[in-house]
């Protein structure tokens, strides 16, 4: 009796192995195969995407350099109250002297100067000067006095407060800078001085211009896609080549062509002067400003709108419009109530594609944007290549990434990602 | 029926070409009477959909005029024609619920909300889908979608409804049920229906009249029984129902009957339907179920020896292929009754048929 119950409970295959186990065994083989199939791509993505991104995210808060180069000074800071009015004690000065001496020998101390210079100008020169002259300090009566003698900034309590604040291996200062804020000397967080506030403005501009560009590509791309989707395949394939033609020429060439067209002495201005629409002295400035960026980027990103739109429209059967017409709708009503709603997924897909591409665009704004048409990515590039403030560059990049993700989630909430079709 | 002068639709000398090189519709003249259920039946590519599209206003006629209620409609845009239409793939709007789909034609007619509601309810009741009003088309089965499409085409009370192979995507059982329902709705509402199919049994069961299309021409336009029993040419005979065909030369003929020397050997007596005269060739058409097995000697004008080649058991009848007059694809249907003849492969039997049942068609040289 009990025997029967157990055989009923544990199903076995013909050779007596429990069904679940043999099923698992069969599945394992499958799983190993699929794992092997994914591995190369996974490794590639890990190496070329995940690792760099993580590195960038970490760089935006990384502050190990301070702890590494001031190994004696940092631990002593706990014995000093930065909120009081007293300068640090003799022990801290002494440790600082030793740290700088060692750093000067190893020629690493200038890196620390450069790092702290991002927080407060003059730090770089202070450390350079101190490193040069610190050898003179040998067994003084007072290390404090000796240092202040080298440079009286060592007697500035705010400088010490700054060093104490930045002692940890992580810092929020890059992120604060990225949103135009700073840590005040008293430790509170406040806005940067007006003339130094640039990033928020740039973020806003990047967003609004990207939105505008996306809107323009919809405006221009929709009719074209509609035409392509309704024409016979033979003709539409040919026209499609024309749409894709821009892809075949280098981005740089296309952007430069825009410069040739739009600049003050360019083709369009020349034409308008020749026809007499404008006078020679009133040539229109169309490039190296917002207009330039909008025009050139709309052109460059247009195919990314047309392709998803086209592929969605291609799937809308002709019979929908015909049904609507036969039911009594005018051409316009049929379009508005039937065709348009069915093509929304294409607009969504194209829109997100263009917007995300635009928001991170670099070359075109750099070449044709002038001052008023640059994007946040141009600033990131500047910090990576020019000012070498990688931390701030990384913080800006991270913010940009989060912004895109946030918008993506917002889009998902409003439109629904399932509603997006790329083909 | 067209003679009673109450025609709703009239095609006159319609020709249609898409590419300017070939005529898809060659010369179409057809009257559809008010309240009629007319089916266009024909093989793929014969121009049935093209006809419907011209009538609905989605394709212009290359030549000729279409009249609706005696008004020429060549220049009337589709949305003013008041023609309901059921498409092969239903063309239900996927982003709207069933109720919204039905409301669409009423909304564009600016009908008030109360009346709209009533109409939608009535239409959904008619197709027994009342409880599905708030579902999306994707959440319905094929048959249910089909019914919604029918309801939508009827909800604004059109006089004329066009249906282009509306049951093409359904399985056999559902098809038969829907045929019955559509027929029922037609009778109930008295609406005129022009129906397209390439399934001949569907055409036979549903229609008042059937227009058999081939090659852009109406081969025959007649009621189902006449079409089946009195086909006017070999194409119709072949296309509707099963058919045995002999080719041969006429050796003797009068208005009623003729004698034909069949190509495989043998002299067959046939009814003169459409023949050119003695010495010319003709096609003889004979329905399998009209062949008599082992008729008494001399009881029929046509009696021949047949060699049984194949027997296929089909339940209600046994399909028997025999060799007669040199034609080895001659088919006989033997009804499966208690007294039916028992044949075996290789038997030689006598088979015979009446003059009336064997029609001489298709004159040629
Ligand atoms: N838009 C078009 N452009 C060019 N030729 C067409 C077009 N539509 C149909 N044709 C041609 O016209 C002929 C008739 O087509 P139609 O669609 O009317 O046939 P049908 O009888 O409805 O066939 P089916 O039973 O397959 O639906 C076909 O040869 C087809 O190739
Ligand atoms: Mg068709």
Domain total for chain A? 3
Rounded mean pLDDT of B49-57?
94
Among B46, B51, B52, B213, the mutation site with the greatest number of ligand 1 atoms within 8 A of its Cβ is B46
pLDDT at B330 over 60: yes
B24-39: average pLDDT: 94
Residue B309 in contact with partner chain A when CB distance is under 8 A? no
Mean pLDDT, residues B175-193 = 92
Q: Which residue's alpha carbon is nearest to atom 10 within ligand 1?
A: B18
Mean pLDDT of the B58-81 span = 94
Note whether residue A121 is domain-resident.
yes
Q: Do residues A216 and A335 share a domain? A: yes
- Interchain pair B91, A341: CB under 8 A: no
Given an 8 Å threshold on Cβ–Cβ distance, is B79 in contact with A317? no
Q: Are residues A99 and A45 in the same domain?
A: no
Model confidence at B2, in pLDDT bands (50, 70, 90)?
A: very low
Indicate whether A296 and A332 sit together in one domain.
Answer: yes
C-alpha span between B312 and B321 (Å, rounded): 8
| Share above pLDDT 90 across residues of chain B, in percent, rounded to a whole number | 62
Do A260 and A399 fall within a single domain? Answer: yes
A342 and B85 within 8 Å at the Cβ level: the answer is: no
- pLDDT for A25-61, tens place per residue? 888 989 999 999 999 999 999 999 999 889 988 999 9
Q: How confident is the model at residue A3 (pLDDT cuts 50, 70, 90)?
A: very low
Non-local CB neighbours of B33 within 8 Å, separated by 6+ positions:
B1, B2, B4, B6, B7, B8, B192
- Out of A277-281, A335-339, B209-213, pick the least confident: A277-281
Task: With CB atoms and an 8 Å threshold, state whether A325 touches B78.
Answer: yes
Q: Is B105 on the interface with A (CB under 8 A)?
A: yes
Looking at the domain assignment, is residue A150 inside a domain? yes
A275 with A390, same domain: the answer is yes
Residues 298-337, chain A: which have Cβ within 8 Å of B?
Answer: 317, 319-320, 322-331, 333-334, 337
- Does B93 sit within 8 Å of A324, measured CB to CB? yes
What mean pLDDT comes out for the span A272-279? Answer: 89
Strand blocks (E) in B34-119? 37-41, 63-68, 71-72, 83-86
- What pLDDT does residue B172 have? 87
What is the pLDDT, as a whole number, of residue A420? 59
- The reported pLDDT for the residue numbered A383 is 92
Across A412-423, average pLDDT: 66
The tens digit of pLDDT for each residue in A322-370 reads: 999 999 999 999 999 999 999 998 998 899 889 999 999 998 999 998 8
**Domain extent at residue A22:** 15-55
Q: Which residues pair with B211 in a beta bridge?
A: B40, B221
Residues A69 and A47 in one domain: no
Q: Is B134 helix (H, G, I), strand (E, B) or coil?
A: coil
Q: Which range (A123-132, A185-194, A297-306) has the least confidence?
A: A185-194
Nearest CA, atom 24, ligand 1: B44
Protein residue with its CA nearest to atom 4 in ligand 1: B18
In terms of domains, do A78 and A38 share one? no
**CA dist list (Å): A6 to A11, A15, A17, A22:** 9, 17, 14, 18
> Which of B77, B87, B155, B165 would you mutate first to test chain A, the one with the most A CBs within 10 A?
B87
Domain identity same for A149 and A295: no
Quick check: B95 contacting A, CB < 8 Å? yes
Q: How confident is the model at residue A286 (pLDDT cuts 50, 70, 90)?
A: confident
Shared-domain flag, residues A142 and A212: no
How confident is residue A11, by pLDDT bands cut at 50, 70 and 90? confident
Chain A positions in Cβ-Cβ contact with residue B108 (cut-off 8 Å): 327-330, 333
User: What's the pLDDT score for residue A329?
Assistant: 95
Residue B169 confidence (pLDDT): 81
Name, in order, each residue with C-beta under 8 angstroms of B302's C-beta and a sequence gap of 6 or more.
B268, B269, B352, B353, B354, B355, B358
What was the ipTM of the complex prediction?
A: 0.83
Q: Which residue from B56, B83, B91 is facing A317, i.e. has the nearest CB? A: B91
pLDDT for the residue numbered A4: 47
Average pLDDT over residues A262-283: 89
- Please determine, for residue B6, whether its predicted confidence score (pLDDT) is greater than 90: no
In terms of CA atoms, which chain A residue is nearest residue B58? Answer: A322
In A123-232, which residue ranges form alpha helices assigned H by DSSP?
123-133, 143-150, 157-165, 173-178, 199-230
How far apart are the CA of B16 and the nearest CA of chain A, in angstroms?
A: 19
| Per-residue pLDDT, A370 | 87
Is B16 near ligand 1, meaning CB less than 6 Å away? no
Chain A residue closest in CA terms to B92 = A320
The whole-number pLDDT of residue B359 equals 92
The pLDDT tens digits for B227-272 are: 998 898 889 998 888 889 999 999 998 888 999 999 888 899 999 8
Report d(CA B346, CA A308) in Å as an integer: 67
Query: For ligand 1, what atom is nearest to the CA of residue B53?
Result: 18
Q: Could you say which of A168, A191, A225 is where a domain stops? A: A168
Measured CA to CA, the distance from residue A400 to residue A387 in angstroms comes to 19
Segment B116-139, tens digit of pLDDT: 999 999 999 988 899 999 999 999
Above 80 in pLDDT, residue A13?
A: no
Q: Which pLDDT tens digit goes with each residue over A135-152? A: 888 888 889 999 998 899
Q: Crossing angle for the helix pair A199-230 and A233-248, nearest 10 degrees?
A: 150
Tell me the pLDDT tens digit for each residue of A195-250.
Answer: 889 999 999 999 999 999 999 999 999 999 999 998 988 998 888 888 888 778 88
Closest ligand, as measured to the CA of B43: 1
Minimum Cα–Cα distance from B53: chain A residue: A322
B161 and B194 Cβ atoms separated by less than 8 Å: yes
Look at residue B13 and give its three-state secondary structure.
Answer: strand
Q: Would A9 be classed as within a structural domain?
A: no
A407 and A266 within one domain: yes
User: Is A173 inside a domain boundary?
Assistant: no
Residue A71 domain flag: yes
* Domains defined for chain B, CATH in brackets: 7-234 (3.40.50.300), 242-361 (2.40.50.100)
- Flag whether A336 is in a domain: yes
Q: How confident is the model at residue A423 (pLDDT cuts 50, 70, 90)?
A: very low
In a domain, A20, yes or no: yes
- pLDDT category of residue B328 using cuts at 50, 70 and 90: confident
Q: Which residue of B lies nearest to A333 if distances are taken between CA atoms?
A: B108
Average pLDDT over residues B163-184: 89
The domain that holds A246 is classified in CATH as: 1.10.3720.10
CA-based nearest residue to B156, from B80, B70, B93, B76? B80
Asked whether residue A177 is assigned to any structural domain, the reply reads no
Do A152 and A220 reside in the same domain of the chain? Answer: no
pLDDT of residue B362: 80
pLDDT, mean over chain B: 90
Residues A203, A338 share a domain: yes
- Give the mean pLDDT of chain A: 89
């Amino acid at each position: 009796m009990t025997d029967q119950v157990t055989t009923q409970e544990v199903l076995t295959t013909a050779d007596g192995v429990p069904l679940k186990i043999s099923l698992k065994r069969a599945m394992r083989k499958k799983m190993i195969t699929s794992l092997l199939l994914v591995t190369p791509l996974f490794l590639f993505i890990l190496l070329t995407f995940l690792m760099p991104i993580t590195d960038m995210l970490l760089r935006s808060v990384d502050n190990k350099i301070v702890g590494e180069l001031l190994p004696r000074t940092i631990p002593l800071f706990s014995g000093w109250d930065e909120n009081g009015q007293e300068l640090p004690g003799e022990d801290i000065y002494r440790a600082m002297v030793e740290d700088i001496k060692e750093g000067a020998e190893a020629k690493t101390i200038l890196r620390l100067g450069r790092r702290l210079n991002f927080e407060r100008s003059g730090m770089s020169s202070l450390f350079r000067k101190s490193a040069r002259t610190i050898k003179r300090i040998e067994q003084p009566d007072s290390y404090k006095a000796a240092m202040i003698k080298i440079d009286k900034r060592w007697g500035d309590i705010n400088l010490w407060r700054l060093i104490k604040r930045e002692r940890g291996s992580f810092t929020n200062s890059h992120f604060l800078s990225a949103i135009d804020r700073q840590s005040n000397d008293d430790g509170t967080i406040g806005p940067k001085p007006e003339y130094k506030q640039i990033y928020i403005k740039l973020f806003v501009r990047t967003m609004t211009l990207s939105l505008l560009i996306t809107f323009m590509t919809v405006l221009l791309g929709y009719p074209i896609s509609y035409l392509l989707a309704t024409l016979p395949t033979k003709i539409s394939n040919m026209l499609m080549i024309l749409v894709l033609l821009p892809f075949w020429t280098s981005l740089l060439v296309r952007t430069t062509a825009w410069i040739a067209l739009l600049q003050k002495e360019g083709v369009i201005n020349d034409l308008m002067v020749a026809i007499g629409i404008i006078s020679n002295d009133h040539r229109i400035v169309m490039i190296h400003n917002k207009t330039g960026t909008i025009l050139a980027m709309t052109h460059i990103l247009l195919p990314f709108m047309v392709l998803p739109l086209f592929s969605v429209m291609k799937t809308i059967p002709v019979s929908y419009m015909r049904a609507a017409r036969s039911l009594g709708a005018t051409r316009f009503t049929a379009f508005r109530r039937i065709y348009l709603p069915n093509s929304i997924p294409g607009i969504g897909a194209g829109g997100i594609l263009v917007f995300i591409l635009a928001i991170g665009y670099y070359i075109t704004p750099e070449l044709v944007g002038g001052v008023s048409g640059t994007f946040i990515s141009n600033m990131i590039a500047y910090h990576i290549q020019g000012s070498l403030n990688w931390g701030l560059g990384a913080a800006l990049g991270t913010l940009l990434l989060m912004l895109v993700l946030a918008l993506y989630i917002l889009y998902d909430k409003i439109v629904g990602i399932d509603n997006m079709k790329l083909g | 029926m067209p003679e009673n002068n109450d025609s709703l639709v009239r095609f006159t000398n319609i020709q249609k070409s898409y590419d300017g090189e070939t005529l898809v519709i060659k010369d179409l003249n057809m009257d559809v009477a008010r309240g009629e259920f007319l089916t266009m039946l024909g093989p793929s590519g014969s121009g049935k959909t093209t006809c419907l599209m011209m009538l609905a206003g989605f394709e212009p006629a290359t030549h000729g005029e279409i009249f609706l209620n005696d008004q020429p409609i060549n220049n009337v845009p589709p949305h003013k024609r008041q023609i309901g239409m059921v498409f092969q793939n239903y063309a239900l709007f996927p982003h709207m619920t069933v109720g919204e789909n039905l409301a669409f034609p009423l909304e564009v007619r600016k009908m008030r909300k109360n009346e709209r509601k009533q109409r939608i309810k009535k239409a959904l009741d008619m197709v027994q889908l009342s409880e599905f009003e708030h579902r999306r088309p994707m959440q319905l089965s094929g048959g249910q979608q089909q019914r919604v499409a029918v309801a939508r085409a009827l909800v604004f009370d059109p006089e004329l409804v066009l249906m282009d192979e509306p049951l093409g995507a359904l399985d056999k059982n559902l098809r038969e049920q829907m045929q019955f329902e559509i027929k029922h709705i037609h009778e109930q509402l008295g609406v005129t229906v022009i129906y397209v199919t390439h399934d001949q049994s569907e055409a036979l069961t549903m229609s008042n009249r059937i227009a058999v299309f081939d090659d852009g021409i109406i081969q025959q336009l007649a009621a189902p029984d006449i079409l089946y029993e009195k086909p006017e040419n070999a194409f119709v005979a072949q296309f509707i129902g099963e058919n045995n065909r002999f080719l041969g030369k006429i050796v003797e003929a009068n208005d009623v009957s003729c004698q034909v020397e069949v190509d495989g050997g043998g002299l067959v007596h046939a009814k003169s339907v459409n023949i050119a005269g003695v010495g010319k060739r003709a096609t003889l058409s004979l329905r399998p179920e009209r062949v008599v097995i082992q008729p008494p000697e001399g009881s029929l004008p046509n009696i021949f020896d047949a060699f049984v080649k194949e027997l296929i058991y089909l339940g209600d009848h046994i399909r028997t292929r025999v060799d007669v007059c040199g034609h080895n694809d001659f088919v006989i249907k033997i009804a499966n009754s208690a007294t039916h003849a028992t044949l075996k492969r290789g038997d030689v039997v006598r088979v015979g048929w009446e003059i009336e049942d064997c029609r001489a068609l298709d004159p040629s040289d």
